[in-house]
């Protein structure tokens, strides 16, 4: 082999991403009813949010259905999101850069490490 460098797979990066997804899905599966809602007067009508960050949301109640984008995580971190319906993952991503997603009413959305705005 001589002194040639071997290019290997980025195992530490993969392990980090898999661990983040396992943690993300484990919490949601154990507590699917967990949602985030803004505090306000009991008689006030709350419209679903169109901008959101870290948390677990019920689409159609906590956040509005639609397409969203994120510029990615802050300061070289990781951004992860997962769309879930009936405790099954519909779609998910873990990224270090910009990302986008489209939500559908009735599903849950779990976000960690990024902030989404309408696309």
Say if CB 68 and CB 114 are below 8 A apart. Answer: no
| pLDDT for res 35 | 47
pLDDT score, position 45: 72
Dihedral sign of CA atoms 87, 93, 94, 100 in order: negative
pLDDT in tens, the chain (119 residues): 455 555 554 545 545 565 555 555 554 555 555 444 555 555 667 789 999 999 999 999 999 999 999 999 987 789 999 999 998 999 999 999 999 999 999 999 999 999 999 99
Structure tokens at 72: 């990615």
Q: Name the token pair of 66.
A: 């639609």
- Integer angstrom CA distances of residue 68 from 39, 44, 50, 84: 23, 26, 8, 16
* The pLDDT of residue 25: 54
At residue 12, φ and ψ (nearest 5 deg) are -60, -40
């Amino acid at each position: 082999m001589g002194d040639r460098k071997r290019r290997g797979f980025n195992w530490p990066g993969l392990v980090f991403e898999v661990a983040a997804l396992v943690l993300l899905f484990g919490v949601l599966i154990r507590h699917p009813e967990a949602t985030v809602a803004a505090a306000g007067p009991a008689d006030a009508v709350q419209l679903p949010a169109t901008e959101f960050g870290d948390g677990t949301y019920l689409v159609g109640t906590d956040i509005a259905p639609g397409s969203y984008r994120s510029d990615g995580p802050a300061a070289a971190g990781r951004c992860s999101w997962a769309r879930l319906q009936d405790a099954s993952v519909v779609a998910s991503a873990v990224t270090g850069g910009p990302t986008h997603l489209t939500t559908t009413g009735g599903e849950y959305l779990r976000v960690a490490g990024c902030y989404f705005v309408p696309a």
